[in-house]
Structure 1
Amino acid sequence: MIFRQLFDPTSSTYTYLLGDSGSGDALLIDPVYEQVPRDLALLQELGLHLRATLDTHVHADHVTGAWRLSQRCGSQIALAEAAGATGVNRPLRHGDRIDFGSRYLSVRATPGHTNGCLTYVLDDQSMAFTGDSLLIRGCGRTDFQQGSPQQLFASVHEQILTLPENCLLYPAHDYRGITVTSVAEERRFNPRLGGDVDVGDFTGHMNNLNLPHPKLMAVAVPANLRCGQPDTEALPQETPDWAPLTLRFSGVWEIEPMTLLEHAAGLQIVDVREAPEFIDRLGHLPGARLVPLSQLMGRLDELDREQPVVAVCRSGVRSAQASVLLTKAGFGKVANLAGGMLRWKTEGLPVASGSV
């Protein structure tokens, strides 16, 4: 099985990718709207087809990427039936099974944080995805969206902490950078729900948290009750409009050699190799400007910030770094030549030679 844990730093949300290597089927748990391009890039690089998105609950701190991914991948949108959201292809109940290739997740209802909280358990019970029902050494709040401390206490103790001790637990959030826990750890060390804590202790604690509402709650909850579909019913622009590009999971946009040849007239081509390489056997692209990577940040004023920039090097490694640096410096239209001059030469495309 293919497994990846992804992170959104703005909302401290974990998104989980599960894939079956045999069939190529994949699931995404708790996708974030703004991170959809990242998730699509990873799916493409791993050769996976997204079958469904699964939200653990109606989130109050970020907008789900479920609708956006469905538009791009044709994936089903799965969410608790109890949530009452529109746009759900597969309303989930306790005991349901979600297949992906030869693997599957079992659905356990774990309400209490919200009335529609679900926990997803892998078929061999080696891992479970607990949403906000059980966090690492904590749990979700119980003071809005039909939350109930009594219900959450029962959910955690009956549906999560009854899993095998070595079952790994993956939450929807962690604000300290901790990535995973286990049933055994939470039974023993969770200060709210572990050890000898009873429902009275827990209820008294949760009813006196006095937390402010999440900053994005007024936006996120209505949007998530539409599964993340915008009011405009229009997809945001995901691909730059100045050339056909591919976003890599590294976060770098790439342009194919033939595409660059076709669009070269309107682009700034910046070769970031050292001067001797610019005139070696590989040559350089016609019209390319030599700005070695070591000098790039000191020569930004030589480049037009309004015109797209394509970075080039021998193999695409240094130019990928240049692309990142240019983007951080405020250049809005930047791409890396896929495969660099090695691939350009292999494809028999025109090169220039001569002095710098």
Structure 2
Amino acid sequence: MLFRQYLHTNPVAASYFFGCGSQSQGVVVDPLEDQVDFYVKEAQDLGMNIVYVIDTHIHADHVSGARKLAEKTGAKYVLHSSADTSYDFTSVEDGDELLAGNTLLKFLHTPGHTPEHISIVVSDKRRADEPWFVLTGHTLMVGDAGRTELAVSVEEGAKDLYQSIQKITQLEDHIELFPGAFSGSVCGRGLSGKPSSTVGFEKRHNEALTFDNEKEFVGFMTSNVPPQPEGFKERRKTNQGK
């Protein structure tokens, strides 16, 4: 399997390029608009064809480059079926799977940060059927969970997020965890500058995972909420095509 993590600083965000090198089928997740040509060049340099472009959610902190990248490469643009957009996309539901060569993607619907949020559990079938890593977007990050009030009320989002986190923490402890943001992002609070972890390490050391019930978790997520990013409503609408 080929795997690349790209750490962006303006805005602070992480995007990903991974897939099956032997069959030259690649996947790009959460691309930024001003980096579209970069992903195209990466694909050319790596000898890969981009077959899927995925947004884990409708972003509010930056303008997505996913639709533009999909148009340039002929890839399918993937979102959860509940995404409220003015354009067509390839929809996935909780539990759906897609193949990119020998790379298997299983989608988990993980609302909370936004209602349409998905996480992606990835397996390299040339090595094993079991998952290798999970891309968690802004659901669970290294050191915290994603803020919950950029698309719905903070309480509603926090309740959904509590249930979503249970799906991720049911994965095996050794599975690597790659989030959509890291320290400096407006979408979390105590985020680590280390942009990857494991499910097991976060279960042991992430404060957001220390609560045994929904009420306590919601109390944690609705306190000390950082200021909302300027222009987030407009960026979300732009990414919805509205």
Report the counterpart of residue 148 of structure 1 in structure 2. 157
Alignment RMSD (CA, Å): 1.5
CA distance in structure 2 between the aligned counterparts of 1:143 and 1:220, rounded to whole angstroms: 15
Change (3 A) 1:41 1:21: same
**Does the 8 A contact of 1:133 with 1:156 survive in 2?**
yes
Preserved CA contact (<8 Å) 2:28 2:52? yes
C-alpha separation in 2, matches of 1:174 and 1:119: 16
Q: Measure the CA separation in 1 of the matches of 2:235 and 2:195.
A: 24
Match of 1:319 in 2: none
Given that 1:5 and 1:17 are in contact with CA atoms closer than 8 Å, whether structure 2 keeps it comes out as yes
Q: Which of 206, 209, 228 is matched with 1:193 structurally?
A: 209
**Which residues in structure 2 correspond to 1:291-330 (within 5 Å)?**
none
Instruction: Provide runs of 4+ in structure 1 moved above 4 Å.
Output: none
Q: Is 1:166 aligned to residue 174 of structure 2?
A: yes
Q: What are the ranges of 5 or more consecutive residues in structure 2 without an aligned counterpart?
A: 124-129, 184-191
Q: Tell me which amino acid in the other structure corresponds to 1:25.
A: Q
Please give the residue correspondences for 1:51-130 in structure 2 after superposition, counting only pairs within 5 Å.
51-123=51-123, 124-130=130-136
Contact 2:174 2:200 in 1 (8 A): yes
Counterpart for residue 11 of structure 1: 11
How many residue pairs are counted as aligned between the two chains? 225
Partner of 2:232: 217
Q: Greater relative contact order (Cα 8 A, min sep 6): structure 1 or 2?
A: 2
Secondary structure at 2:82 match in 1: helix
Give 1:138's aligned residue: 144
Preserved CA contact (<8 Å) 2:24 2:47: yes
Aligned positions of 1:168-317 closer than 5 A = 168-175=176-183, 176-194=192-210, 196-226=211-241
AA in 2 matched with 1:80: H
Preserved contact between residue 60 and residue 150 of structure 2 (Cα < 8 Å) = no
Deviation sequence 1:259-294 (CA, Å, 0-9, x none): xxxxxxxxxxxxxxxxxxxxxxxxxxxxxxxxxxxx
Q: Letter of the aligned partner of 1:156 in structure 2?
A: I
Whole-Å separation in 2 of the counterparts to 1:216 and 1:61: 8
The one-letter code sitting in structure 1 at the alignment partner of 2:228 is: H
- For 2:25 and 2:162, the matched residues in 1 are separated by 34
Please tell me the residue identity of whatever aligns with 2:176. L
Give the greater-gyration-radius structure (CA).
1
TM-score, structure 1 normalization: 0.61
183-192 vs 215-224, greater mean Cα deviation: 215-224
User: Is the contact between residue 153 and residue 193 of structure 1 (CA under 8 Å) also seen in structure 2?
Assistant: no
Q: Distance in 1 between matches of 2:89 and 2:218?
A: 35
The Cα shift of 1:209 comes to: 2.7
The Cα of 1:88 is off from its aligned counterpart by 3.5
Contact 1:29 1:54 in 2 (8 A): yes
Deviations 1:179-221 (A, max 9, x none): 2011111111111123x54322211121223432222413310
Unmatched segments (≥5 aa) in structure 1: 232-356
TM-score by length of 2: 0.88
SS at match of 1:4: strand
CA separation in 1, counterparts of 2:147 and 2:140? 10
Residue 202 of structure 2 aligns to a residue in which SS? helix
**Percent of aligned pairs with the same amino acid:** 27
Whose strand proportion is higher, 1 or 2? 2
8 A Cα contact 1:2 1:21, kept in partner: yes
Aligned residues of 1:137 and 1:191 also touching (Cα < 8 A): yes
Partner Cα distance (1:180, 1:201) in 2: 26
Deviation at 1:144, TM superposition (A): 3.0
